[in-house]
């Protein structure tokens, strides 16, 4: 979207986020925020952040956590190969970090048809466009496709954006209602017996 560099938060819209962590010595650390527009049936990229090396990982986590909270986000997905430290550091700042179930190659594979069919809206970000266009598809010996950046290139922005756009088009996540949340609302927790299939199957709506 030419001339669109970032979108502000809209009340009532559910946002999601994806983080590509880095230790700060070589690769950049990136974060992307997006939402799904039910009217246009498109995933919309709202904001991206990139911290290039060298940088302090802790300072980067603080900056990214503030960005996520400004969009009402308390839960973000991210690269599952980053180990435990992203979960620990984001947790300190009120963000739950969940390792992504899919590899970045799988995310790129799912992003491609979304891009080709015009089902996403990207920001006007030159480095992002360069990284997306620089991705290469390779075929391993076993015949399995793999998508990654070219040797010597980077895809940190592309990884975060692919992750958040695929997440946004996957539909809303199931709501988790904990006993702690019910206590804050002064609502007694639901007895376990009410959650058994033998009980719930008695009701028809």
- Is position 26 within any domain? yes
Give pLDDT, residue 61. Answer: 94
Residue-wise pLDDT tens digits, 22-69: 865 678 899 999 999 999 999 999 999 999 888 888 999 999 999 999
Tens-digit pLDDT profile for residues 110-128 = 999 999 999 999 999 999 9
Q: Is residue 4 part of a domain?
A: no
**Does 28 fall in a domain?**
yes
Asked if residue 196 belongs to a domain, the reply is no
Phi/psi of residue 57, nearest 5 degrees: -55, -40
d(CA 5, CA 162): 17
**pLDDT tens digits, 137-176:** 887 776 677 776 777 777 899 999 999 999 999 855 444 4
- The confidence score (pLDDT) of residue 27 equals 81
The domain containing residue 60 runs over which residues? Answer: 15-172
**This model's pTM is above 0.95:** no
Alpha carbon separation from 191 to 53, 55, 179 (Å, rounded): 51, 49, 11
Which CATH number does the domain housing residue 164 bear? 3.30.420.240
Task: Give the residue-averaged pLDDT of 189-200.
Answer: 46
In a domain, 203, yes or no: no
53 vs 32: CA distance, rounded Å? 18
* Domains: count for the chain: 1
pLDDT of 191 reads 53
- Residue 49 — φ and ψ, nearest 5°? -135, 140
Is 138 part of a structural domain of the chain? yes
Is residue 177 a part of any domain in this protein? no
């Amino acid at each position: 979207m030419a001339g669109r560099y970032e979108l502000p938060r809209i009340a009532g819209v559910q946002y999601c986020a994806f983080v590509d962590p880095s230790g700060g010595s070589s690769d950049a650390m990136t974060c992307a925020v997006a939402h799904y527009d039910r009217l246009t049936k498109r995933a919309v990229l709202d904001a991206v952040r990139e911290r290039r090396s060298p940088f302090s990982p802790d300072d980067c986590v603080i900056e990214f956590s503030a960005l996520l909270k400004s969009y009402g986000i308390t839960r973000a997905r991210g690269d599952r190969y980053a180990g435990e430290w992203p979960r620990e550091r984001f947790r300190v700042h009120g963000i739950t970090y969940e390792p992504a179930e899919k590899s970045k190659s799988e995310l790129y594979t799912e992003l491609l048809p979304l891009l080709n069919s015009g089902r996403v809206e990207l920001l006007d970000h030159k480095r992002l466009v360069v990284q997306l266009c620089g991705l290469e598809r390779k075929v391993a010996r076993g015949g399995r496709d793999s998508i990654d950046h070219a040797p010597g290139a980077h895809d940190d922005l592309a990884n975060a954006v692919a992750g958040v756009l695929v997440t946004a088009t996957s539909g809303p996540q199931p709501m988790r209602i904990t006993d702690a949340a019910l206590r804050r609302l002064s609502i007694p927790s639901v007895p376990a017996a009410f959650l058994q299939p033998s009980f719930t199957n008695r009701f028809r709506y």
